[in-house]
Structure 1
Amino acid sequence: MPSTRTPSWTVGDVTVHRVDEVPLPPATGRWLLPDATPELVAGHDWLRPDFTDSDGALRLHSHSFAFVLNGLRVLVDTGIGNGKERANPAWHDLRTDYPERLAAAGFPPDSVDLVVLTHLHADHVGWNTRAVDGAWAPTFPRARYLTARAEREFWAGYPMDEARAGMFRDSVLPVERAGLLDLVDVPAEGLELLPGLRLLPTPGHTPGHLAVELTSRGRTALITGDCLHHPVQLAHPAIGACVDIDPRQSAATRRALLESLAGTDTLLLGTHFAPPTAGRVVAEGEAFRLRPVPPA
């Protein structure tokens, strides 16, 4: 079992746990957000030392968020996964203790009721499955897995290369074949899955991308998925990821989301943000910055 305490934040009556998988290498930021140059990063002191290295390299992590709401044990995104054949060397054939960390946070795989997938990229669906007797089986056999119908239908019609097709074979199709994947229609105003849990459409990175909003006793948190990869995008919302399906829509979605959060008490939880991972959005000139909120 991991010896370190699971980082967590309190949102009303709900405790949100960050379940760590792996820090990503410095090369990830240069590849993913090529417009976030060291010179641009250097102009924002608040990014250091938590979110960038001294040379301007972006710090990025892979983790999930887990919480209990109305008696349901919920996991948002499932990371990269172990033993997966991936084109990206940082994701290839990992051997992490993610399941043990999940159990240490109080969420052993057999206890999870709902897995929300913000989108269907390899670093968000990997622990959907694990190797069992030479085959890929659902990691969370009692759970319903859920994503947007628009997301699944987009990829169904997309001309995939072998790397992406392989990811679907090992991390998406086994869940579908087990009858565990639910597709939901998410209107522009969002979809309330259950009291206190709402899905927000945040398209651009992918067409059906979702952010996840959690509310309890008047307090709110928002889990970003990949509509935000790194806090530098608060200072420069036009900076997008090299893998955005629709870069213009991604930038517009990001700015609109940040405008809606600026000056509010909403806790922003970044799916790839390095520790301290969470914060509140503050307006700064024509853009924004993150005021970090360390875990409890």
Structure 2
Amino acid sequence: MNTTPANSPHTTAWTIGDATIHRIDETPLPPETGPWLLPAATTDVVTGEDWLHPDFADDAGTLRLDSHSFALTIGGRRILIDTGIGNGKTRANPAWHDLRTDYLQRLAAAGFHPDTIDLVILTHLHTDHVGWNTREAPDGTWVPTFLNARYLTSRVEREFWAGYPMDEPRRQMFRDSVLPVEDAGLLDLVDVPATGAELVPGVRLLPTPGHTPGHVAVELTSHDETALITGDCLHHPVQLAHPAIGSCVDIHPAQAEATRRSLLDSLADTATVVLGTHFPPPTAGRVVGRGDGYRLVPVLPVGW
């Protein structure tokens, strides 16, 4: 059993216009995650970027990574973006196996009881982004966690995995975290053109393919202020300095790199607040140009 402690008592939220975006922590990821996930982010590369220290990497060049979700109210809708790893699930990755966290209590403490969620947006269908889609019922079956919500992902994403030759761990993930939502009739597939798809006023899906074919980022706009939630088109701020650094689980590495470069170029030196789905605290920042790459200038949560 993998048990994690309660989160810091500080409020972890950012204000974008009339919207408040809450980070809902699940668990820090272990130090060995960085070398596995981003193998080109060597200690020499990481220590060479002094701005990564101490928040995004330690002095030895070990990356810090987290698993969390974002919850907000905008356009009259109560929205959760990605659902983490989940509790009590059989996983091949030891850091994800049989977690026991108080994620749902943290979600409720932020003002988002599971029964009040209207929309669950899934940036893509990877294990650490769909886990709390479901929870275990007393009879041992997996049932949707957010019974009053519509779950959304891109049509390209779902159709890709429908034809993909999955290994057993991925089939298990679909059995316990995706198929129960589909079987309950709660999953909607969204066509996301190159220009993006507006879900409700102020919420737009942007196609960011490469990590997976149907991956999307989520753009939030309120009163001319904008935030972007990355999903896994960016895993860690080191990729801002070195956009060529890709993930070992990118389905299409060249496309993933092209997406990163295009996205970062569009964000650089703008007021958009970028919130990384795996970025450790302070999690949010603005992208600024720096030499041949970029860096993240942190935007601290409200009250910090």
Q: Following TM superposition, by how much is the alpha carbon of 1:2 offset from its aligned partner in structure 2, in angstroms?
A: 6.4
Give the aligned partner of residue 10 of structure 1.
Answer: 15
Give the aligned partner of residue 274 of structure 2.
Answer: 268
Residues 89-128 of structure 1 mapped to structure 2, 5 A cutoff: 89-128=94-133
User: Secondary structure, in 3 states, of the residue corresponding to 1:9?
Assistant: strand
- CA pair 2-277 structure 1, distance change in 2 beyond 3 A: closer
Per-residue displacement from partner, 1:143-183 (whole Å, max 9, x unpaired)? Answer: 00000000000000000000000000000000000000000
User: Secondary structure, in 3 states, of the residue corresponding to 1:250?
Assistant: helix
User: Secondary structure, in 3 states, of the residue corresponding to 2:289?
Assistant: strand
Give the aligned partner of residue 26 of structure 2.
Answer: 21
Per-residue displacement from partner, 1:48-89 (whole Å, max 9, x unpaired)? Answer: 000001110100000000000122100000000000000000
- Distance in 2, Cα, partners of 1:91 & 1:178: 25
- Distance in 2, Cα, partners of 1:41 & 1:5: 28
Cα pair 1:84 1:94 within 8 Å, conserved: yes
What's the TM-score once normalised by structure 2's chain length?
Answer: 0.96
- Distance in 2, Cα, partners of 1:230 & 1:3: 21
Q: Following TM superposition, by how much is the alpha carbon of 1:195 offset from its aligned partner in structure 2, in angstroms?
A: 1.1
Give the aligned partner of residue 288 of structure 2.
Answer: 282
Q: Following TM superposition, by how much is the alpha carbon of 1:108 offset from its aligned partner in structure 2, in angstroms?
A: 0.6
Give the aligned partner of residue 138 of structure 1.
Answer: 144
The structure 2 residue matched to 1:186, chosen from 179, 189, 192, is 192
After superposing on structure 2, the runs of 4+ consecutive aligned residues of structure 1 that deviate more than 2 Å are: none
Cα pair 1:147 1:184 within 8 Å, conserved: yes
Give the aligned partner of residue 258 of structure 1.
Answer: 264
* Structure 2: segments with no counterpart, 5+ residues: 1-5
What root-mean-square deviation, in Å, do the aligned CA atoms of Structure 1 and Structure 2 show? 0.9
Letter in 1 for 2:201: P
Residues 40-79 of structure 1 mapped to structure 2, 5 A cutoff: 40-79=45-84
- Distance in 1, Cα, partners of 2:245 & 2:258: 11
Q: Following TM superposition, by how much is the alpha carbon of 1:5 offset from its aligned partner in structure 2, in angstroms?
A: 3.5
What's the TM-score once normalised by structure 1's chain length?
Answer: 0.99
2:180 is equivalent to residue 174 of structure 1: yes
2:216 is equivalent to residue 210 of structure 1: yes
- CA pair 99-176 structure 1, distance change in 2 beyond 3 A: same
- Distance in 2, Cα, partners of 1:292 & 1:194: 28
Give the aligned partner of residue 157 of structure 1.
Answer: 163
User: Secondary structure, in 3 states, of the residue corresponding to 1:170?
Assistant: helix
* Structure 1: segments with no counterpart, 5+ residues: none
User: Secondary structure, in 3 states, of the residue corresponding to 2:234?
Assistant: coil
The structure 1 residue matched to 2:234, chosen from 224, 228, 235, is 228
Cα pair 2:181 2:187 within 8 Å, conserved: yes
- Distance in 1, Cα, partners of 2:78 & 2:241: 34
Q: Number of aligned pairs? A: 296
- Distance in 2, Cα, partners of 1:38 & 1:5: 31
Letter in 1 for 2:181: V
2:37 is equivalent to residue 32 of structure 1: yes
- Distance in 2, Cα, partners of 1:4 & 1:97: 14
Cα pair 2:11 2:301 within 8 Å, conserved: no
The share of aligned pairs that are identical, in percent, is: 73
